[in-house]
Amino acid sequence: MIDLDGAAEMFAAASDLTVGLEEEFALLDPQTLDLVQRFEELRDSAAERSPFLSEHIAGELISSEIEIISGRGANLRHAIAHQRKLRGELFAHAAAHDVALGATATHPWADYREQRIIDTEHYRRVEEGLKYVAWRNNTFSLHVHVGVHDVDRAVRACDRLRPVLPLLLALSASSPFLDGRASGLHSSRSQIFTRSFPRCGIPDAFGSWVAYRAYIELLARTNSIVEFTQVWWSVRPHFSFGTVEVRVCDMQSTAAESEALAGLIVACVAQALRDIDENLPFTDLPGHLLEENMWRAIRHGLDGRMIDFDRGAEYPSAQIAERLLAWTAPVRAELDIEPALPERNSAQRQRAMFDAGASMREVYDATVREARESYAEEVKV
């Protein structure tokens, strides 16, 4: 099931900077805002409403979750245009079936023990292999695929993106609540997914396709994996699409935030490729250092401080966007990407409401309204 020669051929045929977007929504009862297990119903009835929507719906582990996938866009603008149309159709389809959609990375109070794994061969394999780790993973993410020509460049781009992953997570944090409690974290999704799944989080630096291929071959030979997607790293070469897939981000509460974050991610991948092609010097930091920033992103999000390893000093996490925009300025100018990131991310907004006395349900209700008012609107690009 793992065709490594085919993967190399896929990247050889790929074009730089095509873009694909994946957004995962919670399925909710509109009155109680509890999770409802209705993915199969919405999937099966979508074809009657819209063949376009039906072709771009996917399941994501549990029956109370639905994913929409833009497909391959020639660039960021095209991918966003497709995704906006899909969002509008998905929200209308869900509303017609009396289902609301949530867009935070965890559900604040749902009991994971009550959620059912969807019945597909892939997810049966995931459940059998991981058991509790799979059952516990009731989370919702934003994934961005960026096309890369040549598999060796893709592996090396993933290496250069390793230090960026905690920064993107801090920017994207949207999951301060879990199991009916204020978790004290900004991204509780990362704690129960990234910290729990095997082969997940910040990958090692591999340096070349030869080394990465040897790693996948070892995993397959020793029966550790039977699909390459069982390598759940927060950034990875995607063998089926010829892309670098950035998987570290929490789901975003509004469409504007999702699009801005996607634009920044595309710019980061593009700048990494530019730096590779220009042979700019780069030092692969050891994982134990990068994990310090990953924990800070999980715990404190944009309210904390990150470590600048070049200087050996801290800086406010509120400066993350500024730093990433400065690094990516050359390619962003060429690609006309100007991400409009909000002053406060979703986790900060939710925590502020809760600290001011709002109940957890009131906070979640506000995020559901945010999602409906932004994602449901079909906007021309």
Could you report how far apart the first and last alpha carbons of the chain are, in Å? 39
Scan for tokens 């991400």, then name that residue: 339
Angle at 8 between CA 120 and CA 12, to 5 degrees: 115
What secondary structure letter does DSSP report for 118? P
381 is a domain residue: no
Q: How far apart are CA 147 and CA 133, in angstroms?
A: 31
- Helix spans in 162-232 (H): 165-172, 188-192, 209-221
Q: What pLDDT sits at residue 381?
A: 39
74-83 in b/e form (b: 16+ CB < 10 A) is: ebbebbbbbb
Q: What pLDDT sits at residue 356?
A: 98
Cβ contacts of residue 374 below 8 Å, gap of 6+? 254, 255, 256
40 is a domain residue: yes
User: Considering the chain, what is the average pLDDT of its residues?
Assistant: 96
Cβ contacts of residue 355 below 8 Å, gap of 6+? none
Q: What pLDDT sits at residue 94?
A: 97
Per-residue pLDDT at 378 exceeds 70: no
Greater confidence, 378 or 334? 334
78 is a domain residue: yes
For the four alpha carbons of 247, 109, 65 and 362, in that order, the dihedral sign comes to negative
Cβ contacts of residue 61 below 8 Å, gap of 6+? 117, 118, 123, 126, 134, 137
Half-sphere exposure of 211 (CA within 13 A, CB side): 12
Q: What pLDDT sits at residue 44?
A: 95
Contact (Cβ atoms closer than 8 angstroms) between residue 279 and residue 110:
no
Name the residue type at position 308. D
Q: What pLDDT sits at residue 334?
A: 97
Q: What pLDDT sits at residue 1?
A: 75
Angle at 209 between CA 208 and CA 212, to 5 degrees: 95
Which of 251, 277, 259, 73 lies closest to 160, judged by CA? 277
36 is a domain residue: yes
Per-residue pLDDT at 380 exceeds 70: no
Cβ contacts of residue 246 below 8 Å, gap of 6+? 143, 144, 145, 146, 161, 165, 168, 234, 235, 265, 268, 269
Condensed to tens digits (0 to 9), the pLDDT of residues 329-346 reads 999 999 999 999 999 999
Contact (Cβ atoms closer than 8 angstroms) between residue 272 and residue 157:
yes
Condensed to tens digits (0 to 9), the pLDDT of residues 266-276 reads 999 999 999 99
Q: How many domains does the chain have?
A: 1
Q: What pLDDT sits at residue 377?
A: 73
364 is a domain residue: yes
24 is a domain residue: yes
Q: Tokens in use for 93?
A: 């389809």
Residue 355 belongs to domain with CATH number = 3.30.590.20
% of the chain at pLDDT higher than 90:
97
16 is a domain residue: yes
Binned at pLDDT 50, 70 and 90, residue 24 comes out as very high
Condensed to tens digits (0 to 9), the pLDDT of residues 110-159 reads 999 999 999 999 999 999 999 999 999 999 999 999 999 999 999 999 99
What secondary structure letter does DSSP report for 175? B
Q: What pLDDT sits at residue 118?
A: 96
Q: What pLDDT sits at residue 47?
A: 87
Q: What pLDDT sits at residue 379?
A: 44
The residue range of the domain holding 284 is 4-375
In the predicted model, what is the mean pLDDT of residues 61-68? 97
SS (H, E, C) 259-273: HHHHHHHHHHHHHHH
Condensed to tens digits (0 to 9), the pLDDT of residues 281-293 reads 999 999 999 999 9
Q: How far apart are CA 85 and CA 63, in angstroms?
A: 23
The rounded radius of gyration (Å) of the Cα atoms in the chain is: 20
Condensed to tens digits (0 to 9), the pLDDT of residues 148-174 reads 999 999 999 999 999 999 999 999 999
The per-type count for the chain, helices as H runs and strands as E runs, is 16, 13
For the chain, strand residue ranges (E) read 19-28, 57-60, 62-69, 100-102, 141-147, 177-178, 181-182, 200-201, 232-233, 235-238, 243-250, 305-308, 313-316
What's the farthest any 2 CA atoms get from each other in the chain?
58
Binned at pLDDT 50, 70 and 90, residue 49 comes out as confident
380 is a domain residue: no
Cβ contacts of residue 153 below 8 Å, gap of 6+? 273, 276, 277
Binned at pLDDT 50, 70 and 90, residue 82 comes out as very high
Contact (Cβ atoms closer than 8 angstroms) between residue 290 and residue 281:
no
